[in-house]
Amino acid sequence: MAVDKKKIEYHIREILKALGENPDREGLIETPERVARMYEEVFEGIQYSNHEIAEMFGKTFSAPKNDGRQSAVVMRDISVFSYCEHHIALMYDMTVNAAYIPDGKVLGLSKIARICDMAAKRLQLQERLGEDIAEIICEAVGTVDVGVVITGSHSCMTARGIRNIPARTTTTTFYGRFKDDPELQHLVI
C-alpha cells in the first residue's frame, strides 16, 4: 500500500493548527508537503512484509568450503534509525550487529545492511526490530542460526519524559545455535 501523501499533508496542517501555529506563515507553508515526503521515505518498510524484504535482498552466493569447522558471518555497527510506535519518536544512534552461520550459502554483505535499514523503516519497537531482522536473514540465507544485537537511544526517553540523555537500550535476538552458545553470542555482542 502506497503512502497517501495528500492525507498526511492535510493532517500535518491540522496538527500545526492544533499546536497553535499558523500553517500559512512563511516558515511553515511547505512543511506539510515536506513532512509527507519525509514520511514516505522513512516509513518505506511498512509497505513490505518480512518475506518480501527477504526476497528483495536475498542475493546469495555459495559458501566457501570450511572443512567441517564452524564459521560465522558477522557484520557490526550497521547504522539505522527508526520511529517508536508508541510516540512516533525517533530511535536514533542505533547500531545493529548481525551474525549468521552459513548453511551452504552466504548473503552479499551489503544485503545485510539493506535488510537492517528496510526493517527499521517502520513504526517499530526495538525488540521487534531485532526479531524482524533475524527472521529476514534466516529466510534470505536459509539458516536458522542467526544472532542480532541492537543498541540505540530513544528520543521518547532522552528528549521528553524522564529526559535521561545518556540512556541506551540494548536488545538481543538469538535463533538456532546462537540461542544456547555463549561463544556465538559473544561474536555479536
Q: Which residues are catalytic?
A: 84-87, 126, 154, 156
Contact 115, 133 (CB under 8 A): yes
The beta strand positions in 143-189, using DSSP E, are 146-154, 169-174
CA pair distance 87, 85, nearest whole angstrom: 6
Q: Which three cell numbers stand for residue 75?
A: 557484520
Name residues whose C-beta falls within 8 Å of residue 57's C-beta, 6 or more positions apart in sequence: 107, 111, 114, 115, 118, 136, 140
Longest Cα–Cα distance in the chain: 69
CA pair distance 181, 184, nearest whole angstrom: 5
Distance of CA 140 to the CA centre of its chain: 16
CA pair distance 117, 84, nearest whole angstrom: 15
Q: Which three cell numbers stand for residue 135?
A: 527472521
Helix (H, G, I), strand (E, B) or coil at 78: strand
